[in-house]
Structure 1
Amino acid sequence: MLNPKFTDTLFHPLQLKKEIALPAQFTFPFYYTPHELSVLAAKDLQNYLENEANFNHNFGLKPNAEGLVIGKMFGVMVVKDEADNLGYLAAFSGKLAESNQHKGFVPTVYDTLNPEGFYKIGEQELNDINRAIEVLENSEAYHAAKNNLEACLKTYDAELKALKQTIKEKKTARNKLRESEVNNLSVEAYQNLLEELKKQSIYYHFRLKDLKNDWKLKIEEAQSHFDKIESTLNALKEKRRVQSSALQKQLHQQYSFLNYKGESKDLLDIFKNTTVRIPPAGAGECAAPKLFQYAYQQNFKPIAMAEFWWGASPKSEVRKHKQFYPSCRSKCEPILGHMMQGLNVENNPILEVKKHEKPLEILYEDNYLLLVNKPHEFLSVPGKTQLDSVQTKMQQYLPNNKPVLVHRLDMSTSGILLVAKNEKTHKNLQKQFINRTVKKRYVAVLDGELKTKKGIIDLPLRVDLDNRPQQLVCYEHGKPAKTKFEVVAVENGTTRIHFYPITGRTHQLRVHAAHSNGLNMPIVGDDLYGTKANRLYLHAEQLEFEHPVTKKQLKIVCKAPF
């Protein structure tokens, strides 16, 4: 263990066995490979969590442990103190064991769990209002008034419909009588009949009027009784809305974050120019903002940072015990964007322009279509900041055509891409993809030895709103996603596998491989759901479809380069 007295201080000295060069720039938190110093700090913290931590929190790592299983993101920041000593700070995301305060971990920016703080007091007031609303909504008087009003309206509607039907039938009968008796009765007798029929018409007219007036009074009385109770209920709900809004605003103002230049901004200022404008729930409670805030408050110099998952994998996201992950985007990106101002931070590698100078390998070509071998880490279509792509290269290759990609591959995935040379061909091929008559085979290498030889993975997917473009498993809102798989070989701690996607969701194969309810083994080199390597070991190896003109089956194979 590097630091035997973890809880004695918030600055944990790093006891190095060898000289390690400091990084030239601070870690870009949303896409990084942990620096060696961050790895050492993380191992020290993990050793403490594994052997000495005594807080009552069920991470899902110990059998028969009590309480709800909740894995947790932890963060370490390597810093230098004012005396130039090297050490690290530790933090956890959210609360831990129902507390924001634990020895050895930097404090939260604002402690929402402080029983004497305005937030807990305000929360209690809101809970009291909620209980008052609940009591009123469940009261006998409220339900009796509501049921009485509904019964009045229902009975009035039924009686009105019945009377109108009777009036209609009587009117029809009177009309028939007028027609049938006009030639059967004397003039005087017929006039007497008409007078009698007129009286009947007037009678039903007033009967309808009386019915409406009588029920109007009954309904108004029932409505008035119900409105008195409802107005009290609405007043409580409006009070709750106003107090909740004021409490949230006051809370957001308490979360005031420093940056390297010593400037301070609260959550409202930080998020006002973002697309969401209103800070999302839990903003400022992640590990990274806590680490930055404490480092700046103590005049420590940030050197490097890393965050790792500790505990059982959650049901939706792909999270592996002890594995490093980037900071979340929806909550942390705006906050850290402010907090890192003035700090020398690594460039965003995602924005780096990746070019492929060599001509793309053409696997097959005729007058109607072609198939190309897409390199890994190369876009299928132009991105927001990067124009170079398979599509732009095809436009350069076929200047007299209007080539269109029939499907796409993830930037990190290599392999076969189908390109149509004209709109008619594109529509035909696209229809084959929609009807799922196109047969696709991918080859991948998994990080682990899979015992199951073949099967089908069925896990619905949707985008992770907190961490685009990552996907997560969601049975409520996710789109159906199915993958057939077949193991090719198992050796040296890895598994070579064939994937046959039945559907074509974003990151489908990557999530189905890595998720705990899938194969529970990420693809080697998966920088989003596994561990970064020299490349993502996923390749679109085979594509079989019907040629739109010749109607012959085309089967194109492009062997994986790994």
Structure 2
Amino acid sequence: MAARFIAFDPQPSADPLPERFPSPFRPGTPHPLAERAARALRAWLEANPEALDPARFRGRFGGKMFGVLVVREASGRLGYLQGFAGAFGDRRVVEGFAPPTYDVPAFEALWTGGSATIRAWDRRIAALRPAVEAGDHRAAAELETLILAQRSYSQALHQDIYATYRIVNARGERADLPALFAPLPPPGGAGDCAGPKLLAAALAMELTPVAMAEFWWGGPPPAGGRQHGVYYPACRGRCAKLLPFMLEGIDCEPAPDVGLGQVPDDAPRVVYEDDDLLVVDKPPGMLSVPGRGPRRRDSVEYRLKARANPDAIEAAVAAQSKSKPPAGSEARTAAGPRLDQLWPRLVHRLDLATSGLLIAAKHREAYVALQRQFSSRQIGKRYVALVRGPLPDALGEGGEIELPLARDLDDRPRQKVDRREGKVARTRWQLLAHEPEHAASRVALYPHTGRTHQLRLHAAHPEGLDAPLVGDLLYGYGEGARLMLHAERLTFLHPTRGEPMELRSPCPF
């Protein structure tokens, strides 16, 4: 067993103990005891920079997620375990840290042998490609056979590797990794995050989990989205189904519904309205469109529909939940139109945490015309943001950022920079002012494309501004009461009259 129980010295009083195990999916500052343990691990990392993987922490990119788990011995003594995600090169077991959740000898035998076999297939496939490109039909048939055989072998290998994982919960029950993620296969790295490794070690050592914290150490990954020393909740992609099972038998807080805020009953404020469209000012913490489930129904679009259809909204919600005809169908149920058939409808969206201007169409003709303007990038958008720290002089007074973005399937709703599979994303920016009193810079952002989280990731990434938005829980440090990003101005052509329109919402920060 590589994990080591590290006792607190001095021991904390009973007062700071949480009543329930805090949800590992809660963002922001962890429980004070977990923060104390994390400070101790950070101090060790600073004092021993060469102990783990020196090359990883020297470059501009490539840190590592670390974690601590506060635990209690049967005697009542409090301490913590420490762990890290994945491996350090070929080092999967490091003395003093939580070991992998799999049987290490069995895993390494499969991994080493399987990797060698797959590499041998890769060489045979590469050797056949020139003949295939030259039109050799026999080589093409052989290549197809090899590719199918390699794929079948790889799938079987993954199943054998999954079988080496020992996923146990606090009740002593065991689950197979594929069963937890069924019907989809487990995502890459499932079971290898710091959180599952720490919980597995604590249960194996018969220690009672009390609180957990995970933080990033070192430069960001090439895909961006991580900042040195910042606490992060457990990832959704790999851990959303794994950790709840492991915590069964422990009194644990439910996972939070992150980001939903208390918004005024009269929100959103109408900035402009005529017979064809509405432009409204969305507050932060309010969804643009309804999400899944009744709790996430309240949104800008839902409230606009309720205002316009006060007598039909409840019946429309009931009809929507009972029956949903194929997309594009306008058929009504016996109870009347469904919620998604009522007008007005938003033509675009803002992130939950972002405030500012949104356009809603009141009828199909206006909706189609406005959508066409968005698709052809004829609509002008200006955002105002506060980014962390003074921008370096080398960046100048403005410029353009072009970093392709893709969904991070292992950690939704995050996006990532992906130069192979990502979609083109382009942002023009302009420095408005340095604000030393806020340790920030005020910038204007002009998105040429409209990718999810584009402005947030373009600001945070080292190849963008390298300055996360103030208050950004996903890509920055999460400080302050809100995300400092506001959609200040929209310019477009009126959908029926064709005249130029310009709407503004003063920045609230």
Report the TM range for the smaller structure's normalisation. 0.7 to 0.9
Compared CA separation, residues 510 and 252, structure 1 to 2 (3 A):
same
Which residue of the other structure, out of 454, 458, 463, is the alignment partner of 1:517?
463
Compared CA separation, residues 414 and 316, structure 1 to 2 (3 A):
same
The one-character-per-residue Cα deviations of 1:114-139 (angstroms, maximum 9, x if unpaired) are xxx34444445446655765787799
| Equivalent position amino acid for 2:8 in 1 | L
Which residue of the other structure, out of 536, 543, 547, is the alignment partner of 2:494?
547
Compared CA separation, residues 18 and 444, structure 1 to 2 (3 A):
farther
Aligned twin of 1:110: 102
After superposition, residues 248-267 of structure 1 pair within 5 angstroms as 248-267=158-177
Measure how far apart 1:404 and its partner are: 1.4
Compared CA separation, residues 561 and 263, structure 1 to 2 (3 A):
same
1:447 correspondence with 2:388 = yes
- 8 Å Cα contact 2:284/2:352 also seen in 1: yes
- 8 Å Cα contact 1:254/1:266 also seen in 2: no
What count of residue pairs does the alignment treat as equivalent? 466
Aligned twin of 1:179: none
Aligned twin of 2:298: 388
Aligned twin of 2:434: 490
For structure 2, list consecutive stretches of 5 or more residues without a partner in the other structure. 311-341
After superposition, residues 188-207 of structure 1 pair within 5 angstroms as none
SS of equivalent to 1:330: helix
Compared CA separation, residues 99 and 235, structure 1 to 2 (3 A):
same
| Equivalent position amino acid for 1:515 in 2 | H
- 8 Å Cα contact 2:259/2:285 also seen in 1: no
Compared CA separation, residues 242 and 373, structure 1 to 2 (3 A):
closer
Aligned twin of 1:215: none
Aligned twin of 1:185: none
- Cα distance in 2 between the residues matched to 1:392 and 1:14: 51
Larger helix share, 1 or 2: 1
SS of equivalent to 2:187: coil
Measure how far apart 1:100 and its partner are: 1.7
Superposed CA RMSD: 3.3
Measure how far apart 1:150 and its partner are: 7.5
- 8 Å Cα contact 1:440/1:543 also seen in 2: yes
SS of equivalent to 1:391: helix
1:11 correspondence with 2:5 = yes
Compared CA separation, residues 420 and 128, structure 1 to 2 (3 A):
closer
- Cα distance in 1 between the residues matched to 2:305 and 2:203: 51
Measure how far apart 1:269 and its partner are: 3.0
Measure how far apart 1:83 and its partner are: 1.3
SS of equivalent to 1:445: strand
1:81 correspondence with 2:28 = no
- 8 Å Cα contact 1:445/1:497 also seen in 2: yes
Compared CA separation, residues 120 and 76, structure 1 to 2 (3 A):
closer
Moved over 6 A (4+): 134-139, 233-237, 240-243
1:422 correspondence with 2:416 = no
Aligned twin of 2:16: 21
Aligned twin of 1:461: 405
- 8 Å Cα contact 2:121/2:146 also seen in 1: no
Aligned twin of 2:483: 536
SS of equivalent to 1:325: coil
SS of equivalent to 1:441: strand
What TM-score do you get using the length of structure 1 for normalisation? 0.75
| Equivalent position amino acid for 1:467 in 2 | D
Compared CA separation, residues 137 and 357, structure 1 to 2 (3 A):
closer
SS of equivalent to 1:324: coil
For structure 1, list consecutive stretches of 5 or more residues without a partner in the other structure. 1-6, 154-222
The one-character-per-residue Cα deviations of 1:497-548 (angstroms, maximum 9, x if unpaired) are 1111111111111111111111111111111111223111111111122223
| Equivalent position amino acid for 2:26 in 1 | Y
In percent, how many aligned pairs have the same letter? 38
| Equivalent position amino acid for 1:288 in 2 | G
Which of the two has higher C-alpha Rg?
Answer: 1
The one-character-per-residue Cα deviations of 1:136-162 (angstroms, maximum 9, x if unpaired) are 7799xx999x89x978x8xxxxxxxxx
Which residue of the other structure, out of 38, 42, 45, is the alignment partner of 2:41?
45
